Amino acid sequence: MSLYCLNPACSFPDNANNHKFCHGCGQPLADTTQGYLFRDRYLIKQILGEGNFGRTYLVEDQNFNHRKRVLKKFIAAFQGAILETAKTLFKREAEILDTLKHEQIPAIYDHFEEENSLYLVEEYIEGEDLITEFNREGKFSQKKIKYLLEDLLPVLDYLHQKNLLHRDIKPDNIMRRRHDSKLILIDFGGVKEVSKTRGTLIYTPGYGSIEQMTGNPQTASDIYSLGATCVRLMTGYFPSENNENDPIYDSNTATWLWKDYLHNQGVEIEQILSNILDKMLAHFPQDRYQNSQEILLELNPPVSCAKPLDITEDLSESESKLINQSSFKELTKKENILIYTTVVISIIIIIFIVRFLAAQSSLNVGTFVGAFLICLCLANLVFILFKNIKKRRIKIKYSQNSIIHNKLAQPTTLQVNSANPSTVAPNTSITSSSTPTKQPNKNLISSLKSFQFEVITVNTKGEIIKRENRENEYFTVKLSQDINLEMVVIPGGNFWMGTSKKEGKNSQQEKPQHRVNLSSFCMAKYPITQGQWKQIMEQNPAYFKGDNRPVENVSLYDCLDFCKKLSELVGIQLTLPSEAQWEYACRGVINSNQYKQLDGTQIYQPFHFGATITEQLANYNCSRTYQQEPIGIYFPKTIDVGSFYPNNFGLYDLHGNVWEWCGDTWHENYQNAPQDGKIWLNGNDKYSPMRGGSWAAFPFYCRCAIRNKVQRNNRSYDHGFRVVYNFKK
């Protein structure tokens, strides 16, 4: 047993258990092994790890409410010019890390030098790395690997778009954040800008590509490392110094053997996933994917806008056969052949009968009548066949239209597996049913009333520079004696949806900026609360309990079921908002002319309250900043709705607290987006957009224009929603 000195400046922290003073730094081990206050600010709680380049500590920041941080010490075992070069590179890397503002990349808070050692203070991620998860849960399934790719590839794309390489992607450097299960890419000690010059050789054997091993890493090198991470998590075989023979990689022929290895284990890989991983692991970089978007497109191929919405996935077997196996054109073709064949055969038979009769020397009445009746029957057969086929075509065409209309109009229902209640098999429709199943009670709806509220505007420092009193109208839906749903009137108008180039840091998903004209509608003043949810659904799925907190941990299908039941109760059609409705309502555009530019477009502030966001304005992850506002105290959970200032329409909690579902299918950008504000279908119907950010989101992800691609059946501690009622005022 040894005593470990927690002084990060100590060069030799391991001590014999009978030592009283550390032989590395000379300080009392009774102090430095229990906790060590480094630089009068960072209280060292424990060592997290140690590698070739340094040590990592868990610390508490005494200047910031004892917030947990990670302190990394880079040991510079150099002298002279080499030491100065190492310092320069470290500072450059720290500057690069400071530019990264992504919720799945740890934030950097400080970097400094002390006694020829270099230090970095980063965000602490509460969770576990994928190696630890593997040891606990075993080999990753194909489904889990797909989720891994879908979660990490956008992070990789973010890095590569900034012309940066991670250079050390492996299971040890990927963490699963505990509160939302998001994958976080960590350890950016080897981050490097893409260039043609040879760099320091940084890679992990078993994960590094050939060009990275020779000092010429590319974006395809990170993709290779991610592919290697996937196959090693699937096979359960990781490289180590003690194993010269790698059963899933033949170094002599530079060939991956992972599929053979899994096949021998009785595991067959889906063709799409197999092809993707093979291409990610190609030996030469030019044979691999050149960017992450290519992989995402193959993993989830987009539905062409020209292709009609496929509603046959959720039809019954008989309905599917009716539409798919007997399409109208195909049926017409086959039945035309049947008619023509019958007519030709009938004519041949009639000609044969006529020639037979003509060849007879004498005709009796019986023979003639018999021949006449045969011809008459054949003619009648052709007539009946034609008539029945025509009726059948009309019936099928009517049935097709009815089925499609009903499927698009019906609400989503949940089919729950009794063995696993969390397993949901939803239908893919968007809107709720227009026909209630029970007698609605319209007395639960009040008439329009006015309400007053105060609106504020802030500058880039988060300082309030303007206050205004506003008024709007709303109606109330009474759900119980003390629980109401307030629906605020959103006046019709037009705005430019998405972001302009001037907003900066924006995503291609938010472009092109395009004009949308919307009719008036009503939107819930707050996200749906747990009290409202329990009143309608008779249960509460939320993780952070509280009747006045927003309901979370709900999928899109759960939300649609709520809309259906609520609509049946009150007799009006309540649905999820479209993306256009949500963004228009969030921005609170009162007078669009004040935002107009010379080219006709409009430029808005990123948040409805102005240029930035602070902890006094919303519930979000305020450990990072958006502009020049101060860092706030992060509150990692939901809070009661209505705790902050509303926007120009009188809506609350549009930034932060919970992400909010929209009814659209997912589209990667706004190309060919509708201009009437309606729900946009014909996209990737496995996903829907969520808007507004959450308690866990960094400032950039709480903007009015932000779009979050989420699987429709996904439930998380930060997934909520609000409802709309479409009407014309």
Q: Using CA atoms, how far apart are residues 421 and 702, in angstroms rounded to an integer?
A: 32
Q: How does residue 723 score in pLDDT terms, banded at 50, 70 and 90?
A: very high
Please indicate, yes or no, if residue 304 is contained in any of the structural domains: no
The answer to whether 119 touches 54, Cβ cutoff 8 Å, is no
383 plus 521 within the same structural domain: no
DSSP letters spanning 570-589: HSS-EEPPPHHHHHHHHHT-
Q: Output the pLDDT for position 633.
A: 81
- Give the mean pLDDT of 429-444: 52
Q: Using CA atoms, how far apart are residues 625 and 700, in angstroms rounded to an integer?
A: 9
The answer to whether 482 touches 532, Cβ cutoff 8 Å, is no
Please indicate, yes or no, if residue 434 is contained in any of the structural domains: no
318 plus 459 within the same structural domain: no
Q: Say whether pLDDT at 401 is over 60.
A: no
Least confident range from 241-245, 559-563, 609-613: namely: 241-245
Q: Output the pLDDT for position 320.
A: 42
* Bigger pLDDT: 87 vs 269: 269
- Give the mean pLDDT of 94-109: 84
Residue linked to tokens 């989503």: 412
Tens digits of per-residue pLDDT, 614-633?
Answer: 999 999 999 888 999 988 88
User: What three-state secondary structure class fits 97?
Assistant: helix
The answer to whether 496 touches 517, Cβ cutoff 8 Å, is no
Contacts (Cβ under 8 Å, ≥6 apart) of 508:
668, 669
* Bigger pLDDT: 137 vs 395: 137
516 plus 371 within the same structural domain: no
**What phi, psi does 257 have (nearest 5°)?**
-115, 20
Q: Output the pLDDT for position 612.
A: 95
CA distances (Å), origin 504, targets 394, 508, 510, 603, 610: 56, 11, 11, 12, 15
Q: Output the pLDDT for position 84.
A: 72
207 plus 99 within the same structural domain: no
User: At 264, which CATH number?
Assistant: 1.10.510.10
- Give the mean pLDDT of 638-643: 94
Residue 207's domain spans which residues?
A: 127-299
Q: Output the pLDDT for position 309.
A: 33
Please indicate, yes or no, if residue 417 is contained in any of the structural domains: no
Q: Output the pLDDT for position 400.
A: 42
Please indicate, yes or no, if residue 252 is contained in any of the structural domains: yes
186 plus 204 within the same structural domain: yes
Q: Using CA atoms, how far apart are residues 454 and 616, in angstroms rounded to an integer?
A: 15
Q: Say whether pLDDT at 395 is over 50.
A: no
- Give the mean pLDDT of 101-115: 85
Active site residue 151: no
- Give the mean pLDDT of 49-63: 81
Q: Output the pLDDT for position 162.
A: 86
632 plus 499 within the same structural domain: yes
Please indicate, yes or no, if residue 236 is contained in any of the structural domains: yes
What is the model's pTM? 0.49
Domain boundary, last residue among 123, 158, 175: 123
Q: How does residue 33 score in pLDDT terms, banded at 50, 70 and 90?
A: confident
- Give the mean pLDDT of 317-336: 45
Tens digits of per-residue pLDDT, 647-666?
Answer: 999 999 999 999 999 999 99
Q: Output the pLDDT for position 728.
A: 63
Please indicate, yes or no, if residue 25 is contained in any of the structural domains: no
Please indicate, yes or no, if residue 627 is contained in any of the structural domains: yes
Q: Output the pLDDT for position 504.
A: 55
Number of domains in the chain: 4
Which is catalytic among the residues 168, 187, 222, 561? 168
Paired sense of beta strands 255-256 and 249-250, if any: antiparallel
521 plus 618 within the same structural domain: yes
Q: Output the pLDDT for position 202.
A: 74
279 plus 159 within the same structural domain: yes
Q: How does residue 404 score in pLDDT terms, banded at 50, 70 and 90?
A: very low
The phi-psi region of residue 301 (left if phi > 0; otherwise alpha if psi is between -120 and 50; otherwise beta) is beta
Q: Say whether pLDDT at 257 is over 50.
A: yes
Tens digits of per-residue pLDDT, 190-214?
Answer: 676 665 555 556 778 899 999 888 8
133 plus 119 within the same structural domain: no
* Bigger pLDDT: 727 vs 304: 727
User: What three-state secondary structure class fits 73?
Assistant: strand
Averaged pLDDT of the chain: 81
The answer to whether 441 touches 570, Cβ cutoff 8 Å, is yes
215 plus 98 within the same structural domain: no
CA distances (Å), origin 670, targets 49, 353, 362, 511, 516: 45, 70, 84, 6, 11
Q: How does residue 540 score in pLDDT terms, banded at 50, 70 and 90?
A: very high
* Bigger pLDDT: 23 vs 729: 23
Please indicate, yes or no, if residue 429 is contained in any of the structural domains: no
Q: How does residue 326 score in pLDDT terms, banded at 50, 70 and 90?
A: very low
User: At 694, which CATH number?
Assistant: 3.90.1580.10
Strands, E assignment, 341-483: 414-417, 420-426, 449-458, 464-478
Contacts (Cβ under 8 Å, ≥6 apart) of 213:
201, 203
**What proportion of the chain, given as a percentage, has pLDDT over 70?**
76
Contacts (Cβ under 8 Å, ≥6 apart) of 605:
611
193 plus 318 within the same structural domain: no
Domain boundary, last residue among 123, 138, 168: 123
Contacts (Cβ under 8 Å, ≥6 apart) of 197:
none
Nearest to 585 by CA among 668, 647, 674, 531: 647
Q: How does residue 340 score in pLDDT terms, banded at 50, 70 and 90?
A: low
Q: Say whether pLDDT at 160 is over 70.
A: yes
Q: Output the pLDDT for position 600.
A: 55
Q: Output the pLDDT for position 335.
A: 55
**What proportion of the chain, given as a percentage, has pLDDT over 90?**
45
Q: How does residue 456 score in pLDDT terms, banded at 50, 70 and 90?
A: very high
Least confident range from 142-146, 213-217, 219-223, 467-471: namely: 213-217
CA distances (Å), origin 321, targets 204, 326, 404: 54, 7, 14
Tens digits of per-residue pLDDT, 664-705?
Answer: 999 999 999 999 999 999 999 999 999 999 998 999 999 999
- Give the mean pLDDT of 430-451: 65
Q: Output the pLDDT for position 424.
A: 36
Q: Using CA atoms, how far apart are residues 699 and 624, in angstroms rounded to an integer?
A: 7
Q: Using CA atoms, how far apart are residues 507 and 531, in angstroms rounded to an integer?
A: 36
Q: How many CB atoms lie within 10 A of CB 258?
A: 23
345 plus 274 within the same structural domain: no
Domain boundary, last residue among 123, 153, 178: 123
* Bigger pLDDT: 420 vs 160: 160
Tens digits of per-residue pLDDT, 557-603?
Answer: 999 999 999 999 999 999 999 999 999 999 998 776 666 655 556 68
